[in-house]
Structure 1
Amino acid sequence: MAHENEFDTTAAVTRSMLGWGVVAGPFYLLVGLVLALTREGFDFARHPLSVLMLGDGGWMQIANLALSGVMVLVAGIGLVRAGARGTGIAVGIYGAAMVASAIFPPDPMPGFPPGQEGATAMSLSGVLHFAFGGIGFIAFGVAALLLGGWLARHGERRHAAWSRVAGIVVLVGFVGGAALGPAGMGGLWLAVVVGFAWLLLASLRLYREVPHPDLARR
């Protein structure tokens, strides 16, 4: 009876933080897709969502990227608090890189903004956007690989395998997409979708590691 009114605030905060890892990916992709479908000139086969930061209405994608990055950063802290320290730190780096990328817009690409004919010389903002993106995606892929090791140590070999595969897909998708330019856009899209799907599943898995905040229900 002594536990009936006791509440573990630390556990409640950690669970709440992990919840943002479930929300971040769907939020970013849904908002991005809506903007992509409603902005003239955007081509899924040639353009990443980041170019939506340019031109009229670009502030909406900037806000989408920044808000999603904050969600990912918070989820990373939640993963650390839940016991997956290395994974959480790497996820936090990805979230911070997303926020930094929102500060520095990319350079225009052929076809976007509307009227853009060819590629332009890389600006400082474009270089920084690409650099932060690279740091973020590498950290995201490493996070999935690290969680694979964590899951393996907990005897969850099947789950460890999918986490490692997700990490490889994110790394290969980003590196291949960045190296091939517009021809590798499919790789970048795959890295984004698989990465956020992994974060959602990882957050749900680590959620189970956190005791219920209501001591009476443990």
Structure 2
Amino acid sequence: MTQALLAAGAVGAVLFVVVFSVDGATRSGYSSARHPVSALALGERGWLQITNFVVTGALIGAFALGVRRALPDARWGPVLLAMFALGLVASGVFVMDPPVGYPPGSGHVDSGAASWHGVAHDAAGFVVFTALPAAALVLAVRFWAAAGLRWLGIASIVAGGLCAWLFVAYAIADETGSTVAGLLQRATIVTGWAWMALVAIILVSTSPQDAR
């Protein structure tokens, strides 16, 4: 059961990235370089990204439980991963307001006229992009304490720090209307999600003695 829960983290990470990458590449008027992933929840095919958010959130929730079972002395790491999972589900439930240029023909909604669901989506996104790097940094301490997983502790520090830095860079780019804001967000996602998949794979293949 624990291994199945942990494996859900790797499945969720890969599924999320594959779905938004393929969907974004085949959407008319959508720019992966400029527009955020959440914008894919808009338009006729919006249900696909909404489902992607919710299903991935459920899988990551299972992963958080798996981490708690695999590392019973780790407390805040699984809690932060659960917050991350809930943020993903909420990101799908509360759809963002249209960004500049997408969907084609829609009017951009500035921060002063944001809808309630747009505000809720932004709040959920903030949880997503802060809880994940925080989980990586917290679990880095736990991994460093395990003789067989010290290298994963270093990798977690690097991934957590890089993910946090990229999120700040994305937030600035998005606020200033940069044409590469979408790329920065994708770099943030790939960094954080890759760390999560790595942790899932390592914990599935690690004996309980090595994780102590």
TM-score range, shorter chain: 0.7 to 0.9
| Runs of 4+ more than 4 Å apart | none
Residue 117 of structure 1: how far off its partner (Å): 5.4
Task: Give the match's secondary structure for 1:42.
Answer: coil
Matches within 5 A, 1:44-55: 44-55=32-43
Residue 88 of structure 2 contacts residue 125 of structure 2 at CA under 8 Å; is this kept in 1? yes
**What is the CA distance between 1:15 and its match in structure 2?**
0.8
Counterpart amino acid of 2:26?
T
Q: Is the 8 A contact 1:144 1:163 kept in 2?
A: yes
Residue of structure 2 equivalent to 1:90: 80
Paired residue type of 1:159: L
In structure 2, the partner of 1:206 is 203
1:210: how far off?
Answer: 5.6
Q: Is 1:173–2:166 an aligned residue pair?
A: yes
Q: Does 1:31 align with 2:19?
A: yes
Aligned to 1:8: none
Correspondence for 1:56 among 22, 27, 44: 44
Residues 80-105 of structure 1, C-alpha deviations (whole Å, 9 max, x = no match): 11114322221111011100111100
In 1, distance between residues paired with 2:99 and 2:169? 18
Give % identity: 33
Deviates more, 1:171-180 or 1:134-143: 171-180
Q: Which amino acid aligns with 1:103?
A: V
Counterpart in the other structure of 1:4: none
Structure 2: gaps (5+ residues): none
* Residue type at the aligned position of 2:80: A
Aligned residue among 113, 131, 152 for 1:139? 131
Q: TM-score, normalised by structure 2?
A: 0.88
Q: SS in structure 1 opposite 2:141?
A: helix
CA distance in 2: counterparts of 1:126 and 1:137, whole angstroms: 16
Q: How does 1:5-154 map to 2 (within 5 A)?
A: 13-83=1-71, 84-116=74-106, 118-120=108-110, 121-154=113-146
CA shift, 1:169, in A, is 1.4
Given that residues 79 and 85 in structure 1 are in contact (C-alpha distance below 8 angstroms), is that contact kept between their aligned partners in structure 2?
Answer: no
Structure 1: 5+ residue stretches without partners = 1-12, 212-218
Aligned residues: 199
Give 1:151 shift: 1.3
Q: Which has the larger radius of gyration?
A: 1
Where 1:44 maps in the other structure, the secondary structure is: coil
Task: Find the counterpart in structure 2 of residue 7 from structure 1.
Answer: none
Q: Does 1:195 align with 2:192?
A: yes
TM-score by length of structure 1 reads: 0.85
8 A contact 1:80–1:86 mirrored in 2: no
